[in-house]
Amino acid sequence: MENYIDEGVSMLIAYAPKILGAIVTLIIGFWIARVLANSVRKQLEKRNADPSLIPFLTSMVLILIKVLVLLSAAALFGLEVTSFVAIFGALAFAVGMALQGNLSHMAAGILILFFKPFKVGDFIVTQGYSGTVKEIQIFTTILTTLDNRVIIIPNGTITSGPLENLTANPVRKVPMTFGIGYPDDIDKAREVIKKVADKCPHIDHDKPVDILISELGDSSVNFAVRPWCKTEDFWSVHFYMQENIKKAFDDEGIGIPFPQRDIHIYNHNKEADA
């Protein structure tokens, strides 16, 4: 028993400095990692870097420094760093094979950040979902919908299908359709629509407003109205025109038809037919 105790004390004396050194290395190293990551983030923000890149690069710096700290702590125990790196590489390869889908999403995230089909703050439509880009992460992109729902979409899914960026351009047209009855005066209706558009404060009045007959429908003559506006004013123009066109048509006696169907009922007298 005394031999075991002596051996244990000897090992404790021999390894205590290494254990203490490893613990101190981990504490100080992780603290330095956080400080450097925060410094990188502040420098990127100061240089007005793309908001999409800031969280991505910050997380990469933090992970890289933590890995180096772990390798340093392992070296204090006498472990061969090259062997440790080889083991770590083999584990990384095995995990990578098991997570091929996630790696494809990571690669897609890098492509998104590099080619910039959209950025944080853009309003996009992809894979049947639409919303404002809140954050571009390594594996996923987070959207916030108009009704404040959060949608998380894998990056690989976004890059593998069509993508519509509605805020890529500073200005855009607002497509709208307004119908009038066949007996109503087309020229009068066009003038009413133009007056309403001229009063809308959000429309770009330096550019012409398209007011064209787009269709002779089953029960209405349809106008295609396309005013220009700033991208952020799209919905303001849409709602303004919808409400005020209805009011103006009512004031001018112009009808807005709705689908109607004539039903004819025939009463056959079976005895008479006989």
Give the number of other Cβ atoms within 10 Å of residue 86's Cβ: 11
Tokens 């770009």 — which residue?
204
Is the distance from CB of 131 to CB of 143 less than 8 angstroms? Answer: yes
Residue 97's pLDDT is 47
Query: Which residue(s) pair with 172 in the sheet?
Result: 229
- For 104, 182, 247, the CA distances from 254, given in Å and listed in that order, are 57, 10, 10
Q: What is the pTM of this model?
A: 0.59
**CA–CA separation, 192 and 250 (whole Å):** 11
**CA–CA separation, 100 and 47 (whole Å):** 35
Give the number of other Cβ atoms within 10 Å of residue 265's Cβ: 4
Mean pLDDT, each 10-residue run in order, the chain (274 residues): 62 66 78 83 75 72 78 67 59 52 74 84 90 86 92 88 91 94 93 95 94 91 95 94 95 83 71 53
Residue 120's pLDDT is 87
Q: What are phi and psi of 181, to 5 degrees?
A: -75, 155
- For 21, 53, 269, the CA distances from 59, given in Å and listed in that order, are 26, 10, 85
**CA–CA separation, 171 and 72 (whole Å):** 54
Is the distance from CB of 160 to CB of 152 less than 8 angstroms? Answer: no
**CA–CA separation, 74 and 82 (whole Å):** 11
